Structure 1
Amino acid sequence: MSVSVNSRRTRLRSALAVVLTVLVLLPAAGLFLRVLQENSKQRDNVQKEQDGVEYLTALSPLVSALAESQAAALQGVPSEPASVTAAVARVQGVDERFGDELGTRARWADLKTKISKLPTITGAANKVFTAHVEVADLTIEIFDAVRENSTLNRDPDSDIWFLQEVVAEQMPVAVTAVSRLSDLANMVAASSGATKANLKTQFGYQSLRVSETVGELTDSLQEAVDETNSDTLSGNLVSNLDSFRRGIEAANRGANLGGADPNVSTLVTAQSTLQTALAALSGVILKEISGLLDDRSGTLTYKQIEAFVLFGVAIVLIALATVWTRSRARQAQSGATDQPGEGSRDVSVQASSGGNAPGNSPFGGGPYDSAPGYGEVPNYGGGRERSGALR
């Protein structure tokens, strides 16, 4: 009876061990999956931002190339500059890879068509200038689309957020405004009357736009330096930012706001200095953003591996605990089975063969343990039998 009870207890322990294992393993698996999904989502976001940085790297030289094309066209050069051809080819390459993901395919196709038509636009300077302004504005719109669709403008790190604002918003506007400032100065000098007054109004607007954009750009770079964990950002920005500031100071002197006509030669020199400084600054900023994103990607990869390792260790420990519990249960069951007669009584009765036969005596069974019969006189051996007279 006892063996059956112990067996049921052993099976109950085994069942409880399985249930506890499941209760521990399911929450652990659920937590692991949630961590893995969040990690995968963050890795996808980082990859999208890296794609955006690569697109911006190809797009940035196009702004300066279009400024060069605008100046050449206003001077009567009809052919497309080589810098524009090279920049368009680079952007075309990245758009073929990331255009669908970043939502730039249709915008770029339209912009590319308009760029190809620029050499065919001839006539009055105002007509040529307006055509180039339209193309430049469309280019800035692509910058906005890339930074938004790549989620760079929603990056959680302050340094990356300020850097992307500089390179994808403020710098294209600054380069475009400075190039227009220089070209408008030439147009003001060559015009007269109402046309000249209108051009001077446009010139003043672009000059103010340059000042505002440069102020925002400088503040954003300072914020990025203050917030960054990069050891190279501050040092890499110093020399290029100094050159950029010198170009801005020269542009302000050449603008000659409130005075007579702007100083064309000073503005042309300032434009060249600014374009060179902004191109170098753009390269530094994009490289820093890429490095920061690479560091984040490496951290996420490490966390993913760590999650797999911890989950694997948890499974191994749970499996070992289950095996140990079942082994202990089997040992308990085996011990219960090997105990004979537990909970029962073993009673055996030997049958008597009768009389006083030796070996069958209830007094011990030996030949010397037999009791004498009723009325018998035991014979102790060696003595003679008494006579009746003596009895």
Structure 2
Amino acid sequence: MFVRLAVVVAAGTLFVSVMAQSWSATNKGLATIEAERHGVAYLQPLVQLVGELTDAQSAAIRGAQPDANQVDAAIAGVDTADDIHGDPLGTHRRWTELRGRIATVMGQHLGGEQAYSAYSAVVALAADLIRAVGDASKLVPDPELESYYLADAALRWIPNVLVFAGRAVDMAVLGERTPSDDAQTRVTVARYQVAVASEQVSSSLHKALDSRAAGGVGAPTLGPNLAGQLDAFTSAVDAFVPPAIWLHRLGKVDVPGLTGGSERVRQQTRPLASAALGELDSLLRERADRLSIRRTWTLLGAGVGLLLLGFLLALLLPARPPAAMAEPAPSGGSGRARTARTESRVADPFDTFAFEELSHLGRAVRANRGERVGDVR
């Protein structure tokens, strides 16, 4: 019996250990997904802000007035995201500094080279904040392939497309004012960077689509909106960066044409970023739902297992003997005396009645004896 009891206890201990490890792993996975979703929610308005800042930079360099309303709306979006998600991501200090720098630059009404330097510094700070959010939320090393590729496109390459598409136009405008071979080279390099970044965006998003499709029949697929946005984005980039740029340096730049092409690229990049991040959040939400179901089943399994363990222990443990109904009578005289006492206790309720009967019986005996004595006389 003791061997069986030891086996049950050992099995119960192992079961509890496995359940505890499963519970801990599930909770850790849910915490990781929650951190990633914080990052996605913060990146949605932050990437849009980068696009608005590049538009404002190009407008200031051309001598036009940047659209302050658009920039303010983008800032308000990041403000909201920072209020909600800034604590777990640790972004409050960075965002406060960036927000102050944007307000300073927008209030200076700069133009030309000064605008390029001031706005480029602000855009660089915004790009650094994007990387900081990605690091804090652990989005880039995501273990799921489709999530990884979506995050890779949204964090690493889409901001580069926005920045370099604007920079190519800015370099062209500045070079037109002070023509030089160096300015022409900068335009070419910026367009080349757009081509490289857009190629990486397209590659990552196609891999995400292919990875999701490989899930088989019945597996959820990425939204059709993402594929449509990617097609529009690719067409805009192809028009902005002709294939000849891979072979030789372009000749004189058509600034109006380049400006229009840059604006189309940026207009198609921002909705693509929103679609990619939206699909990423949807994938993370699905994964969190699966883990929540798994945690529920783990909890139910642990409860059933503990009940079964308690039942087995109850079967194996020795039963408690029932209480004696009457005290056993020891051998010898003491037993007879105890029996006599017991009998006397049983007869106690009738003691008065028995005494009266004996009295009547005694008087009758005496009377009968007297009559016999008289007869003899």
Asked if Structure 1 and Structure 2 have the same fold, meaning a TM-score greater than 0.5 normalized by the shorter chain, the answer is: yes
| 1:223 counterpart residue number | 207
Q: Which residues of 2 match residues 288-299 of structure 1 at below 5 A?
A: 288-299=279-290
> Quick one: structure 1 residues 259 and 302, their matched pair in 2 at CA, closer, same or farther if it must change by over 3 Å?
closer
Match of 1:301 among 292, 311, 315: 292
Q: Which residue identity lines up with residue 38 of structure 2 in the other structure?
A: D
> Which piece of structure 1 moves more, 121-130 or 214-223?
121-130
Structure 2: tracts of 5 or more residues without a match? 329-377
| 1:82 counterpart residue number | 69
Question: Does the 8 Å contact 2:49/2:71 carry over to 1?
Answer: yes
Q: Quick one: distance in 1 between partners of 2:106 and 2:295?
A: 53
Q: Quick one: distance in 1 between partners of 2:41 and 2:284?
A: 12
Q: Give the SS at the match of 1:233.
A: coil
Q: Does 1:240 align with 2:229?
A: yes
Q: Which residues of 2 match residues 56-75 of structure 1 at below 5 A?
A: 56-75=43-62
Structure 1: tracts of 5 or more residues without a match? 1-12, 341-391
> Quick one: structure 1 residues 169 and 259, their matched pair in 2 at CA, closer, same or farther if it must change by over 3 Å?
closer
Question: Does the 8 Å contact 2:223/2:279 carry over to 1?
Answer: no
Q: Percent identity?
A: 23
Q: Quick one: distance in 1 between partners of 2:155 and 2:295?
A: 31
Q: Does 1:268 align with 2:259?
A: yes
| 1:313 counterpart residue number | 304
Match of 1:148 among 128, 132, 135: 135
Q: Which residues of 2 match residues 24-43 of structure 1 at below 5 A?
A: 24-43=11-30
Question: Does the 8 Å contact 1:237/1:284 carry over to 2?
Answer: yes
1:231, CA displacement in angstroms?
4.0
1:72, CA displacement in angstroms?
2.0
Q: Quick one: distance in 1 between partners of 2:160 and 2:315?
A: 70
Q: Quick one: distance in 2 between partners of 1:138 and 1:87?
A: 15
| 1:278 counterpart residue number | 269
> Quick one: structure 1 residues 150 and 242, their matched pair in 2 at CA, closer, same or farther if it must change by over 3 Å?
same
What are the superposed Cα offsets for residues 32-74 of structure 1, whole Å, 9 maximum, x if unpaired?
2111111111110000000000001121110111012112212
Higher share in helix: 2
| 1:5 counterpart residue number | none
Match of 1:166 among 139, 153, 166: 153
Q: Quick one: distance in 1 between partners of 2:261 and 2:221?
A: 28
Q: Quick one: distance in 2 between partners of 1:318 and 1:238?
A: 54
TM-score (normalised: structure 2): 0.77
> Quick one: structure 1 residues 307 and 68, their matched pair in 2 at CA, closer, same or farther if it must change by over 3 Å?
same
> Quick one: structure 1 residues 58 and 88, their matched pair in 2 at CA, closer, same or farther if it must change by over 3 Å?
same
Q: Quick one: distance in 1 between partners of 2:24 and 2:151?
A: 27
Q: Quick one: distance in 2 between partners of 1:121 and 1:204?
A: 30
> Quick one: structure 1 residues 254 and 310, their matched pair in 2 at CA, closer, same or farther if it must change by over 3 Å?
closer
Q: Quick one: distance in 2 between partners of 1:163 and 1:110?
A: 29
Q: Quick one: distance in 1 between partners of 2:141 and 2:85?
A: 19
1:146, CA displacement in angstroms?
0.9
Match of 1:116 among 89, 92, 103: 103
Q: Quick one: distance in 1 between partners of 2:92 and 2:14?
A: 44
Q: Give the SS at the match of 2:241.
A: helix
Match of 1:198 among 182, 198, 203: 182
1:23, CA displacement in angstroms?
3.0
Q: Which residue identity lines up with residue 233 of structure 1 in the other structure?
A: L
Q: Which residue identity lines up with residue 237 of structure 2 in the other structure?
A: I
Q: Give the SS at the match of 1:154.
A: coil
> Quick one: structure 1 residues 319 and 182, their matched pair in 2 at CA, closer, same or farther if it must change by over 3 Å?
same
| 1:92 counterpart residue number | 79
Q: Which residues of 2 match residues 369-384 of structure 1 at below 5 A?
A: none
1:19, CA displacement in angstroms?
5.1
1:320, CA displacement in angstroms?
1.9
> Quick one: structure 1 residues 250 and 83, their matched pair in 2 at CA, closer, same or farther if it must change by over 3 Å?
same
Q: Quick one: distance in 2 between partners of 1:198 and 1:270?
A: 22
| 2:355 counterpart residue number | none
Q: Max radius of gyration: which structure?
A: 1
Q: Quick one: distance in 1 between partners of 2:51 and 2:110?
A: 23
Q: Which residues of 2 match residues 178-197 of structure 1 at below 5 A?
A: 178-192=165-179, 196-197=180-181
Question: Does the 8 Å contact 1:56/1:143 carry over to 2?
Answer: yes
> Which piece of structure 1 moves more, 222-231 or 67-76?
222-231
> Which piece of structure 1 moves more, 97-106 or 216-225?
97-106
Question: Does the 8 Å contact 2:57/2:66 carry over to 1?
Answer: no
What are the superposed Cα offsets for residues 197-231 of structure 1, whole Å, 9 maximum, x if unpaired?
33222212211111111121111112111212464
Q: Quick one: distance in 2 between partners of 1:258 and 1:77?
A: 29
Q: Which residue identity lines up with residue 112 of structure 1 in the other structure?
A: R
Aligned length: 322
Q: Quick one: distance in 2 between partners of 1:74 and 1:255?
A: 27
Q: Quick one: distance in 2 between partners of 1:71 and 1:271?
A: 10
What are the superposed Cα offsets for residues 101-140 of structure 1, whole Å, 9 maximum, x if unpaired?
2232222222112111112445651111111111111111
Q: Quick one: distance in 2 between partners of 1:22 and 1:267?
A: 77
| 2:195 counterpart residue number | 211
Question: Does the 8 Å contact 2:131/2:155 carry over to 1?
Answer: yes
Q: Quick one: distance in 2 between partners of 1:284 and 1:33?
A: 38
Q: Quick one: distance in 2 between partners of 1:329 and 1:20?
A: 19
Q: Quick one: distance in 2 between partners of 1:123 and 1:237?
A: 37
Q: Quick one: distance in 2 between partners of 1:86 and 1:322?
A: 66
